[in-house]
Amino acid sequence: MSLRNYLDKIRPNFEKGGKLHAFKSVYDGFDTFLYVPNETSKSGTSIHDAIDSKRIMSMVVIALLPAMLFGMYNIGYQNALAAGKLADATFWGMFLYGFFALLPNILVSYIVGLGIEFAWAQWKGEEIQEGYLVSGILIPLIIPVTTPLWILVLAIAFAVIFTKEIFGGTGMNIFNVALAARAFLFFSYPAKMTGDAIWVAKDSLFGLGYTLPDGFTMATPLGEIAQGVQVNNSLNDMIIGLIPGSVGETSVIAITIGAAILLWTNIASWRTMLSVFLGGTVMGLLFQSTGATSIQWYEHLVLGGFCFGAVFMATDPVTSARTETGKWFFGFFIGAMAIIIRVLNPGYPEGMMLAILFGNMFAPLIDYCVVQSNISKRAKRAK
Protein backbone atom coordinates (compact mmCIF):
# COMPACT_ATOMS: atom_id res chain seq x y z
CA MET A 1 0.00 0.00 0.00
CA SER A 2 2.88 2.40 0.65
CA LEU A 3 3.91 2.18 -3.02
CA ARG A 4 0.32 2.74 -4.13
CA ASN A 5 0.01 5.77 -1.85
CA TYR A 6 3.29 7.18 -3.13
CA LEU A 7 2.23 6.83 -6.77
CA ASP A 8 -1.07 8.55 -6.01
CA LYS A 9 0.79 11.33 -4.17
CA ILE A 10 3.07 12.18 -7.08
CA ARG A 11 0.40 11.76 -9.77
CA PRO A 12 -0.57 15.50 -9.84
CA ASN A 13 2.98 16.35 -10.92
CA PHE A 14 2.42 14.39 -14.12
CA GLU A 15 -1.09 15.66 -14.88
CA LYS A 16 -1.75 18.58 -17.20
CA GLY A 17 -0.31 21.71 -15.63
CA GLY A 18 2.05 19.76 -13.36
CA LYS A 19 5.78 20.43 -13.46
CA LEU A 20 6.44 16.96 -14.90
CA HIS A 21 3.44 16.78 -17.25
CA ALA A 22 5.75 16.10 -20.22
CA PHE A 23 6.48 12.68 -18.70
CA LYS A 24 2.86 11.63 -18.11
CA SER A 25 3.18 8.63 -20.43
CA VAL A 26 6.22 7.42 -18.48
CA TYR A 27 4.31 7.67 -15.19
CA ASP A 28 1.28 5.89 -16.63
CA GLY A 29 3.51 3.16 -18.02
CA PHE A 30 5.01 2.32 -14.62
CA ASP A 31 1.70 2.74 -12.79
CA THR A 32 -0.28 0.43 -15.06
CA PHE A 33 2.54 -2.12 -15.11
CA LEU A 34 2.55 -2.35 -11.32
CA TYR A 35 -1.22 -2.10 -10.79
CA VAL A 36 -4.42 -2.72 -12.72
CA PRO A 37 -5.65 0.62 -14.16
CA ASN A 38 -8.31 2.11 -11.88
CA GLU A 39 -10.50 3.35 -14.72
CA THR A 40 -13.81 2.29 -16.20
CA SER A 41 -15.40 3.19 -19.52
CA LYS A 42 -17.88 6.05 -19.51
CA SER A 43 -19.74 5.14 -22.73
CA GLY A 44 -19.98 2.56 -25.46
CA THR A 45 -19.91 -1.20 -25.31
CA SER A 46 -17.15 -2.70 -23.21
CA ILE A 47 -15.91 -6.17 -22.31
CA HIS A 48 -14.79 -6.67 -18.72
CA ASP A 49 -12.00 -9.19 -18.18
CA ALA A 50 -9.80 -10.17 -15.27
CA ILE A 51 -6.65 -9.96 -17.38
CA ASP A 52 -5.23 -7.16 -19.52
CA SER A 53 -2.53 -7.14 -22.17
CA LYS A 54 0.24 -6.45 -19.64
CA ARG A 55 -0.75 -9.54 -17.66
CA ILE A 56 -0.80 -11.58 -20.86
CA MET A 57 2.70 -10.39 -21.71
CA SER A 58 3.88 -11.14 -18.17
CA MET A 59 2.53 -14.69 -18.44
CA VAL A 60 4.47 -15.22 -21.67
CA VAL A 61 7.64 -14.02 -19.95
CA ILE A 62 7.01 -16.53 -17.14
CA ALA A 63 6.56 -19.29 -19.75
CA LEU A 64 9.91 -18.31 -21.26
CA LEU A 65 11.80 -18.64 -17.97
CA PRO A 66 12.44 -22.43 -18.19
CA ALA A 67 14.03 -22.06 -21.65
CA MET A 68 16.04 -19.04 -20.51
CA LEU A 69 17.33 -20.69 -17.32
CA PHE A 70 18.31 -23.88 -19.13
CA GLY A 71 19.93 -21.80 -21.85
CA MET A 72 22.11 -20.12 -19.23
CA TYR A 73 23.25 -23.52 -17.97
CA ASN A 74 23.87 -24.76 -21.52
CA ILE A 75 26.14 -21.80 -22.27
CA GLY A 76 28.40 -22.84 -19.40
CA TYR A 77 28.06 -26.52 -20.28
CA GLN A 78 29.13 -25.98 -23.89
CA ASN A 79 32.04 -23.82 -22.77
CA ALA A 80 33.29 -26.49 -20.36
CA LEU A 81 32.73 -29.25 -22.93
CA ALA A 82 34.64 -27.39 -25.63
CA ALA A 83 37.53 -26.71 -23.24
CA GLY A 84 37.71 -30.36 -22.19
CA LYS A 85 37.00 -29.40 -18.58
CA LEU A 86 33.52 -30.85 -18.19
CA ALA A 87 34.61 -33.32 -15.50
CA ASP A 88 35.91 -30.46 -13.35
CA ALA A 89 32.93 -28.13 -13.88
CA THR A 90 30.14 -27.74 -11.32
CA PHE A 91 26.45 -27.11 -11.99
CA TRP A 92 26.45 -23.68 -10.36
CA GLY A 93 29.72 -22.75 -12.01
CA MET A 94 28.32 -23.48 -15.45
CA PHE A 95 25.00 -21.81 -14.68
CA LEU A 96 26.58 -18.64 -13.32
CA TYR A 97 28.92 -18.49 -16.30
CA GLY A 98 25.92 -18.60 -18.61
CA PHE A 99 24.02 -16.12 -16.45
CA PHE A 100 26.75 -13.49 -16.65
CA ALA A 101 27.29 -14.18 -20.35
CA LEU A 102 23.60 -13.64 -21.16
CA LEU A 103 22.84 -10.82 -18.70
CA PRO A 104 24.39 -8.01 -20.82
CA ASN A 105 22.26 -9.06 -23.80
CA ILE A 106 19.07 -8.96 -21.72
CA LEU A 107 19.95 -5.58 -20.19
CA VAL A 108 20.80 -4.05 -23.56
CA SER A 109 17.62 -5.48 -25.08
CA TYR A 110 15.33 -3.92 -22.47
CA ILE A 111 17.23 -0.65 -22.08
CA VAL A 112 17.33 0.05 -25.82
CA GLY A 113 13.90 -1.34 -26.68
CA LEU A 114 12.00 0.23 -23.80
CA GLY A 115 14.00 3.44 -24.21
CA ILE A 116 12.77 3.75 -27.79
CA GLU A 117 9.21 2.86 -26.69
CA PHE A 118 9.29 5.52 -23.96
CA ALA A 119 10.75 8.16 -26.27
CA TRP A 120 8.23 7.35 -29.01
CA ALA A 121 5.31 7.58 -26.57
CA GLN A 122 6.54 10.94 -25.29
CA TRP A 123 6.98 12.25 -28.82
CA LYS A 124 3.50 11.12 -29.87
CA GLY A 125 1.86 12.05 -26.57
CA GLU A 126 0.48 8.51 -26.19
CA GLU A 127 0.49 5.80 -23.54
CA ILE A 128 3.48 3.50 -23.37
CA GLN A 129 2.63 0.15 -24.94
CA GLU A 130 3.55 -3.13 -23.33
CA GLY A 131 4.40 -5.30 -26.31
CA TYR A 132 8.16 -5.07 -25.79
CA LEU A 133 7.90 -6.88 -22.45
CA VAL A 134 7.95 -10.14 -24.42
CA SER A 135 10.13 -9.04 -27.32
CA GLY A 136 12.75 -7.82 -24.86
CA ILE A 137 13.34 -11.33 -23.53
CA LEU A 138 12.74 -13.15 -26.83
CA ILE A 139 15.50 -11.37 -28.73
CA PRO A 140 18.39 -12.47 -26.45
CA LEU A 141 17.03 -16.03 -26.52
CA ILE A 142 17.00 -16.42 -30.32
CA ILE A 143 20.45 -15.03 -31.11
CA PRO A 144 23.96 -16.35 -30.37
CA VAL A 145 25.17 -15.37 -26.91
CA THR A 146 28.37 -14.01 -28.48
CA THR A 147 26.56 -11.39 -30.61
CA PRO A 148 28.40 -8.06 -30.13
CA LEU A 149 26.30 -5.63 -28.09
CA TRP A 150 26.62 -2.78 -30.60
CA ILE A 151 25.16 -5.01 -33.30
CA LEU A 152 22.37 -6.03 -30.92
CA VAL A 153 21.57 -2.35 -30.34
CA LEU A 154 21.21 -1.75 -34.10
CA ALA A 155 19.00 -4.81 -34.54
CA ILE A 156 16.68 -3.82 -31.68
CA ALA A 157 16.40 -0.23 -32.89
CA PHE A 158 15.56 -1.42 -36.40
CA ALA A 159 12.98 -3.93 -35.18
CA VAL A 160 11.19 -1.58 -32.77
CA ILE A 161 11.09 1.43 -35.08
CA PHE A 162 10.57 -0.11 -38.52
CA THR A 163 8.65 -3.25 -37.60
CA LYS A 164 6.46 -1.92 -34.82
CA GLU A 165 6.23 1.82 -34.23
CA ILE A 166 6.01 2.80 -37.90
CA PHE A 167 2.93 0.58 -38.21
CA GLY A 168 1.21 2.13 -35.18
CA GLY A 169 2.67 0.26 -32.22
CA THR A 170 1.62 -2.87 -30.35
CA GLY A 171 -1.21 -4.72 -32.07
CA MET A 172 -0.60 -3.09 -35.44
CA ASN A 173 2.68 -4.67 -36.52
CA ILE A 174 2.64 -7.11 -39.41
CA PHE A 175 5.82 -9.02 -38.56
CA ASN A 176 7.03 -10.48 -35.27
CA VAL A 177 9.34 -7.88 -33.69
CA ALA A 178 11.84 -10.35 -32.22
CA LEU A 179 12.17 -12.22 -35.51
CA ALA A 180 12.62 -8.93 -37.35
CA ALA A 181 15.60 -8.22 -35.10
CA ARG A 182 17.04 -11.66 -35.88
CA ALA A 183 16.43 -11.17 -39.59
CA PHE A 184 18.27 -7.83 -39.44
CA LEU A 185 21.24 -9.57 -37.82
CA PHE A 186 21.09 -12.49 -40.23
CA PHE A 187 21.17 -10.39 -43.40
CA SER A 188 23.24 -7.44 -42.18
CA TYR A 189 25.91 -9.34 -40.26
CA PRO A 190 25.81 -12.93 -41.59
CA ALA A 191 29.29 -13.74 -40.30
CA LYS A 192 28.08 -13.08 -36.77
CA MET A 193 24.94 -15.16 -37.20
CA THR A 194 25.95 -18.07 -39.43
CA GLY A 195 29.64 -18.57 -38.74
CA ASP A 196 30.77 -21.70 -36.91
CA ALA A 197 32.68 -19.89 -34.16
CA ILE A 198 29.79 -17.95 -32.66
CA TRP A 199 27.92 -20.50 -30.61
CA VAL A 200 30.21 -20.85 -27.60
CA ALA A 201 31.34 -17.95 -25.44
CA LYS A 202 35.14 -18.03 -25.50
CA ASP A 203 36.07 -15.67 -22.70
CA SER A 204 36.21 -16.64 -19.04
CA LEU A 205 33.86 -14.64 -16.81
CA PHE A 206 34.90 -14.00 -13.21
CA GLY A 207 36.87 -17.22 -13.27
CA LEU A 208 33.68 -19.24 -13.82
CA GLY A 209 34.41 -20.43 -17.35
CA TYR A 210 37.27 -21.68 -19.46
CA THR A 211 39.03 -19.54 -22.04
CA LEU A 212 39.08 -21.34 -25.38
CA PRO A 213 41.97 -21.05 -27.86
CA ASP A 214 41.79 -18.68 -30.80
CA GLY A 215 40.45 -20.30 -33.91
CA PHE A 216 38.14 -22.58 -31.95
CA THR A 217 34.97 -23.45 -33.88
CA MET A 218 31.79 -25.25 -32.96
CA ALA A 219 28.86 -25.47 -35.35
CA THR A 220 25.24 -26.13 -34.46
CA PRO A 221 23.81 -29.50 -35.52
CA LEU A 222 21.83 -27.83 -38.31
CA GLY A 223 24.96 -26.03 -39.45
CA GLU A 224 26.79 -29.35 -39.63
CA ILE A 225 23.95 -30.92 -41.61
CA ALA A 226 24.02 -28.02 -44.09
CA GLN A 227 27.76 -28.65 -44.55
CA GLY A 228 27.19 -32.36 -45.14
CA VAL A 229 28.71 -33.37 -41.80
CA GLN A 230 27.20 -36.24 -39.80
CA VAL A 231 25.60 -35.04 -36.56
CA ASN A 232 27.17 -36.60 -33.47
CA ASN A 233 24.55 -35.47 -30.97
CA SER A 234 22.14 -38.12 -29.71
CA LEU A 235 18.37 -37.70 -29.78
CA ASN A 236 18.50 -37.58 -25.97
CA ASP A 237 20.88 -34.58 -26.10
CA MET A 238 18.65 -32.88 -28.65
CA ILE A 239 15.58 -33.23 -26.44
CA ILE A 240 17.34 -32.23 -23.22
CA GLY A 241 19.09 -29.38 -25.03
CA LEU A 242 22.78 -30.10 -24.37
CA ILE A 243 23.78 -29.01 -27.88
CA PRO A 244 25.18 -25.76 -29.32
CA GLY A 245 22.57 -23.25 -30.42
CA SER A 246 20.80 -20.01 -29.63
CA VAL A 247 20.18 -19.58 -25.92
CA GLY A 248 16.51 -20.45 -25.60
CA GLU A 249 16.06 -22.81 -28.52
CA THR A 250 17.97 -25.95 -27.56
CA SER A 251 15.90 -27.63 -24.82
CA VAL A 252 12.68 -29.29 -26.00
CA ILE A 253 11.81 -30.12 -22.38
CA ALA A 254 12.09 -26.50 -21.22
CA ILE A 255 10.08 -25.30 -24.22
CA THR A 256 7.41 -27.92 -23.51
CA ILE A 257 7.04 -26.59 -19.96
CA GLY A 258 6.54 -23.12 -21.42
CA ALA A 259 3.99 -24.48 -23.91
CA ALA A 260 2.04 -26.11 -21.06
CA ILE A 261 1.89 -22.78 -19.22
CA LEU A 262 0.67 -20.92 -22.31
CA LEU A 263 -1.96 -23.53 -23.12
CA TRP A 264 -3.15 -23.90 -19.51
CA THR A 265 -3.67 -20.13 -19.25
CA ASN A 266 -5.27 -19.96 -22.73
CA ILE A 267 -2.66 -17.41 -23.80
CA ALA A 268 -1.58 -19.33 -26.93
CA SER A 269 -3.55 -21.29 -29.51
CA TRP A 270 -3.14 -25.07 -29.45
CA ARG A 271 -4.35 -25.15 -33.05
CA THR A 272 -1.42 -23.06 -34.23
CA MET A 273 1.11 -25.05 -32.19
CA LEU A 274 -0.18 -28.43 -33.32
CA SER A 275 -0.47 -27.47 -36.97
CA VAL A 276 3.14 -26.24 -37.05
CA PHE A 277 4.30 -29.69 -35.93
CA LEU A 278 1.92 -31.37 -38.39
CA GLY A 279 3.33 -29.33 -41.25
CA GLY A 280 6.89 -30.09 -40.20
CA THR A 281 6.12 -33.79 -39.82
CA VAL A 282 4.46 -34.14 -43.22
CA MET A 283 7.24 -32.29 -45.03
CA GLY A 284 9.95 -34.11 -43.06
CA LEU A 285 8.46 -37.49 -43.98
CA LEU A 286 8.19 -36.44 -47.61
CA PHE A 287 11.83 -35.39 -47.85
CA GLN A 288 12.97 -38.46 -45.88
CA SER A 289 11.12 -40.77 -48.28
CA THR A 290 12.83 -39.15 -51.27
CA GLY A 291 16.27 -39.21 -49.64
CA ALA A 292 16.58 -35.42 -49.80
CA THR A 293 17.49 -35.12 -46.12
CA SER A 294 20.18 -36.93 -44.14
CA ILE A 295 18.32 -36.98 -40.82
CA GLN A 296 15.07 -38.47 -39.55
CA TRP A 297 11.88 -36.43 -39.80
CA TYR A 298 11.50 -36.20 -36.01
CA GLU A 299 15.03 -34.83 -35.66
CA HIS A 300 13.96 -31.81 -37.70
CA LEU A 301 11.30 -31.11 -35.07
CA VAL A 302 13.70 -31.12 -32.11
CA LEU A 303 16.64 -29.32 -33.73
CA GLY A 304 17.21 -25.60 -34.08
CA GLY A 305 14.42 -23.19 -33.35
CA PHE A 306 11.55 -25.37 -34.60
CA CYS A 307 9.97 -26.06 -31.18
CA PHE A 308 10.72 -22.59 -29.86
CA GLY A 309 9.23 -20.95 -32.95
CA ALA A 310 6.13 -23.14 -32.86
CA VAL A 311 5.42 -22.36 -29.20
CA PHE A 312 6.49 -18.74 -28.73
CA MET A 313 6.68 -17.16 -32.19
CA ALA A 314 4.02 -18.69 -34.42
CA THR A 315 1.41 -18.22 -31.67
CA ASP A 316 1.96 -14.46 -31.42
CA PRO A 317 -1.67 -13.21 -31.42
CA VAL A 318 -0.79 -10.02 -33.31
CA THR A 319 1.09 -11.46 -36.28
CA SER A 320 -0.56 -14.87 -36.64
CA ALA A 321 -3.89 -15.85 -38.18
CA ARG A 322 -6.85 -14.92 -35.99
CA THR A 323 -9.63 -17.09 -37.36
CA GLU A 324 -9.85 -20.57 -35.84
CA THR A 325 -9.76 -22.29 -39.24
CA GLY A 326 -7.04 -19.95 -40.43
CA LYS A 327 -4.78 -20.99 -37.55
CA TRP A 328 -4.62 -24.53 -38.96
CA PHE A 329 -3.50 -23.31 -42.39
CA PHE A 330 -1.16 -20.72 -40.88
CA GLY A 331 0.64 -23.20 -38.63
CA PHE A 332 0.84 -25.94 -41.26
CA PHE A 333 2.33 -23.48 -43.73
CA ILE A 334 5.04 -22.43 -41.23
CA GLY A 335 5.98 -26.00 -40.28
CA ALA A 336 6.18 -27.17 -43.89
CA MET A 337 8.03 -24.06 -45.07
CA ALA A 338 10.65 -24.38 -42.30
CA ILE A 339 11.60 -27.89 -43.45
CA ILE A 340 11.56 -26.86 -47.12
CA ILE A 341 14.02 -24.04 -46.43
CA ARG A 342 16.27 -26.27 -44.31
CA VAL A 343 16.48 -29.07 -46.86
CA LEU A 344 16.51 -27.21 -50.17
CA ASN A 345 18.58 -24.15 -49.23
CA PRO A 346 21.78 -24.95 -47.29
CA GLY A 347 22.44 -21.21 -47.00
CA TYR A 348 19.62 -21.05 -44.44
CA PRO A 349 20.16 -24.12 -42.23
CA GLU A 350 17.68 -22.93 -39.59
CA GLY A 351 14.62 -22.14 -41.71
CA MET A 352 12.18 -21.39 -38.89
CA MET A 353 12.83 -17.65 -38.82
CA LEU A 354 12.07 -17.14 -42.49
CA ALA A 355 9.11 -19.53 -42.35
CA ILE A 356 7.39 -17.56 -39.58
CA LEU A 357 8.08 -14.23 -41.29
CA PHE A 358 6.53 -15.64 -44.48
CA GLY A 359 3.61 -16.85 -42.37
CA ASN A 360 3.19 -13.38 -40.85
CA MET A 361 3.03 -11.95 -44.36
CA PHE A 362 0.30 -14.35 -45.46
CA ALA A 363 -1.72 -14.37 -42.21
CA PRO A 364 -4.09 -11.54 -43.27
CA LEU A 365 -4.70 -13.27 -46.61
CA ILE A 366 -5.44 -16.57 -44.85
CA ASP A 367 -7.96 -14.88 -42.55
CA TYR A 368 -9.52 -13.04 -45.49
CA CYS A 369 -10.02 -16.27 -47.42
CA VAL A 370 -11.54 -18.00 -44.38
CA VAL A 371 -13.95 -15.14 -43.74
CA GLN A 372 -14.98 -14.92 -47.41
CA SER A 373 -15.53 -18.68 -47.47
CA ASN A 374 -17.83 -18.41 -44.43
CA ILE A 375 -19.71 -15.53 -46.04
CA SER A 376 -20.23 -17.54 -49.23
CA LYS A 377 -21.46 -20.58 -47.30
CA ARG A 378 -23.96 -18.49 -45.32
CA ALA A 379 -25.16 -16.77 -48.48
CA LYS A 380 -25.83 -20.14 -50.08
CA ARG A 381 -27.74 -21.33 -47.00
CA ALA A 382 -29.76 -18.16 -47.01
CA LYS A 383 -30.89 -18.85 -50.59
Predicted TM-score (pTM) above 0.85? yes
Q: Cβ(131)–Cβ(61) under 8 Å? A: no
Nearest to 90 by CA among 199, 200, 209: 209
Parts of the chain with a pLDDT under 50: 195-196
Angle between helices 2-14 and 24-34 (to 10 degrees): 160
- Per-residue confidence (pLDDT) for residue 329, from 0 to 100: 97
Count of other CB atoms within 10 angstroms of residue 51: 13
Sign of CA dihedral 312, 313, 317, 323: negative
One-character DSSP codes across 323-359 = SHHHHHHHHHHHHHHHHHHHHH-TT-S--HHHHHHHH
- Per-residue confidence (pLDDT) for residue 46, from 0 to 100: 63
- Per-residue confidence (pLDDT) for residue 216, from 0 to 100: 62
Please name each of the domains of the chain with its CATH number.
53-374 (1.10.3430)
According to DSSP, residue 279 is labeled H
Alpha carbon 233 to its chain centroid, in Å, reads: 25
Q: What span, in angstroms and rounded, lies between the C-alpha atoms of 146 and 105?
A: 9
- Per-residue confidence (pLDDT) for residue 49, from 0 to 100: 63
- Per-residue confidence (pLDDT) for residue 195, from 0 to 100: 46
